[in-house]
Chain A
């Protein structure tokens, strides 16, 4: 892990900048063990309920969070998730930034295809998560790490 939490992969995108401007709160949660994944699911569910996401949107966001949290541990060797509540005065949302300081993803395009896996899984984690959220962004650098950002807005 890098010394600065959350800076494992410093990536700059319009989406990240947008989130930074509209962040109402931020919590950092560790991702090291199976139990941490369950904890993240619980925290995300609670905040999703609190900002009024519909049951289906709650379930989609929690499921995407579960997939990406598992990826961070399984492929990234552990890391953390930066958990933001967003409010851009028009709408509320939840942003989750998963970061690790692992080996990185050699071919992001391939990793985003359904059924592509290097870990013996179903290969749906990354591609499936993308379908479940409103916004999705990924940056990965060889030997530096991977960052995945997802956002779900309240409709």
Chain B
């Protein structure tokens, strides 16, 4: 079963989505992230979607659900790097990613999670 790798950095979990995800893969990532938050005692999750050229309602829902699950497990989620064309399409589709924090890039996302590169 293919999986999207989750990296750990201190008390953060980092995910970079670099493949066009089919629906099962998106669900697998949601499950894996939720389990890893608990197993690693993570306080933050950073999801980099800069390589994604599409976020449809299924992927959008996966992102929202992941953020909601992380929240009840005492972790914060930031989604970074959304391409402008994806943002335009997402909003026109009717998705607002309610409750999901976003940042323009990884560095700003890290800052939002209270981390900085030093």
With the chains together, A132 CA to B93 CA distance in Å?
7
Number of interface residues, chain B, beta carbon within 8 A: 24
Q: Which of B55, B61, B88 contacts A56 (CB 8 A)?
A: B88
Q: Which of A58, A59, A128, A131 contacts B57 (CB 8 A)?
A: A128
With the chains together, A42 CA to B20 CA distance in Å?
9
Are B92 and A131 interface neighbours, CB within 8 A?
A: yes
Are A34 and B22 interface neighbours, CB within 8 A?
A: yes
With the chains together, A67 CA to B93 CA distance in Å?
10
Q: Which of A34, A55, A124 contacts B93 (CB 8 A)?
A: A124
With the chains together, A63 CA to B53 CA distance in Å?
9
Main DSSP-derived SS at the A contact region: helix
With the chains together, A93 CA to B73 CA distance in Å?
47
Residue of B nearest to A36 (CB): B22
Are B53 and A62 interface neighbours, CB within 8 A?
A: yes
CB interface residues, B 54-84, toward A, < 8 Å = 54-58, 60-61, 83-84
With the chains together, A114 CA to B85 CA distance in Å?
22
The answer to whether B95 has its CB under 8 Å from any CB of chain A is yes
The answer to whether B86 has its CB under 8 Å from any CB of chain A is yes
A residues in contact (CB < 8 Å) with B: 34-35, 37-38, 41-42, 45, 55-56, 58-60, 62-63, 66-67, 70, 114, 121-122, 124-125, 127-129, 131-132
9 A–B contacts, CB within 8 A, in A order? A55-B85, A59-B53, A59-B83, A59-B89, A122-B57, A122-B95, A124-B94, A129-B93, A132-B92
B residues in contact (CB < 8 Å) with A: 20-25, 53-58, 60-61, 83-86, 88-89, 92-95
Question: Beyond A124-B57, A127-B94: 11 further Cβ-contacts under 8 Å?
Answer: A35-B22, A60-B89, A62-B54, A63-B93, A67-B56, A122-B60, A122-B61, A122-B94, A128-B93, A132-B92, A132-B93
